[in-house]
Amino acid sequence: MDNHNQKKQDFLSDIGTVITNELLQLIDVMGKQFSYEDKVHNDSQYRKSNYLFSPSFYKDAKEYSLSETDAIYIYEHGSKTKEDILVYKFNGYELGIKWFTDSTSGLPMIDEIWKKNL
């Protein structure tokens, strides 16, 4: 093989090595992303399993376009205004829940949710 062909072969080999390394890094990042999304999904399912929601909650949630996740956020981060009411103030509006402890399971039962413009 002459010098020109050898340089060409070395160049192609180097490019192949670079591309392979980049692909391996991309695969590694993608794998971490998928495992993170699985963890977030599993954590979310776990958190939801620690709360109960009444039929009236679902009626209110539909009316205000809110979710179980919103209610859990209010429960965990809201301010108590009454013994059974928690609210969380955002810029221009307030979300609130009314809850009680379920006598059978001992879990929080979220009974109402609302959104109020401030």
Q: Which amino acid is at 89?
A: K
At 49-90, the pLDDT tens digits run 899 999 999 999 999 999 999 999 999 999 999 999 999 998
Looking at the structure of the chain, the number of domains it has is 2
Q: How far are the Cα atoms of 12, 46, 72, 110, 118 from residue 39, in angstroms, in the given order?
A: 41, 10, 18, 25, 36
Shared domain for 58 and 13, answered yes or no, is no
Chain-centroid distance of CA 88 in Å reads: 19
pLDDT above 90 as % of the chain = 54
Give the domain-ending residue among 34, 49, 64.
Answer: 49
41 vs 8 pLDDT, higher one: 8
Domain that holds residue 26: 1-49
Q: What pLDDT does residue 25 have?
A: 73
pTM summary value: 0.60
pLDDT of 9 higher than 80: no
The token pair that represents 29 in the structure block: 């990042």
Burial zone of 67 (CB within 10 Å; 0-12 exposed, 13-18 middle, 19+ buried): middle
Q: Is 82 helix (H, G, I), strand (E, B) or coil?
A: strand
Shared domain for 21 and 37, answered yes or no, is yes
85 vs 8 pLDDT, higher one: 85
Q: What pLDDT does residue 36 have?
A: 43
Q: Are strands 52-53 and 108-117 parallel, antiparallel or unpaired?
A: parallel
Q: What pLDDT does residue 54 have?
A: 94
